[in-house]
Copies of this chain bind each other. A is one copy, B any other.
Amino acid sequence: MQKIEHIGIAVKNLQESNSLFEKLLGRSHYKTEKVASEHVETSFFRTGQSKIELLQATHPDSAIAKYIEKYGEGVHHVAFAVTDIYAEMERLRKEGFRILNETPKKGADNKLVCFVHPKSANGVLVELCQEISD
């Protein structure tokens, strides 16, 4: 794990939250992206070498919609940058972590991603993400 790549925050209304985080962080989001496969629309803010990713559900079946229904808005996941996601998944499986994906999948922001079940990580939904090289 190289660094905190981003913190994912579940929000109800992306436009309102963009405005709120602009005020909080003192800077604008630099991009938005829809991830159709995950039924989410996202926006990104830079902070140091990490990012804040806001996530709004675009469908009631989205994990974000279900999260908000259960817990309300808030921190949804913490993502760490890795250089070799396959090796990290193998390493974590051997250490006893429950990986939610059989193989990495394409996530937002041009990344290969996988998730570690929060029950095996102190209640934290951990994402691993690796930049996809062009």
**Do most interface residues of chain A lie in helix, strand or loop, or is the interface mixed?**
mixed
**Residue from B4, B21, B26, B92 within 8 A of A50 (CB atoms):** B4
Q: Is B95 a contact partner of A48 (Cβ separation < 8 A)?
A: no
Return chain B residues, CB-CB under 8 Å to A7: 4, 7, 78
Interface size of A as a range: 35 or more
Return chain B residues, CB-CB under 8 Å to A73: 122-124
Q: Is A78 a contact partner of B75 (Cβ separation < 8 A)?
A: yes
Q: Is A72 a contact partner of B123 (Cβ separation < 8 A)?
A: yes
Q: Which of A25, A26, A75, A95 has the largest count of B CB atoms less than 10 A from its CB?
A: A75
Q: For residue A10, which residue of chain B has the nearest CB?
A: B123
Expressed in whole angstroms, the Cα–Cα distance for A95 and B96 within the complex equals 45
Return chain B residues, CB-CB under 8 Å to A26: 1, 91
Pairs across A and B, CB under 8 Å, 19 listed: A1-B25, A1-B26, A3-B48, A4-B50, A7-B7, A9-B123, A9-B124, A20-B121, A23-B96, A24-B92, A24-B95, A24-B126, A26-B91, A48-B49, A48-B50, A48-B81, A71-B71, A74-B122, A74-B123
Binding site for B on A (CB under 8 A): 1-4, 7, 9-11, 17, 20-21, 23-26, 47-50, 54, 71-75, 78, 80-81, 91-92, 95-97, 116, 118, 121-124, 126
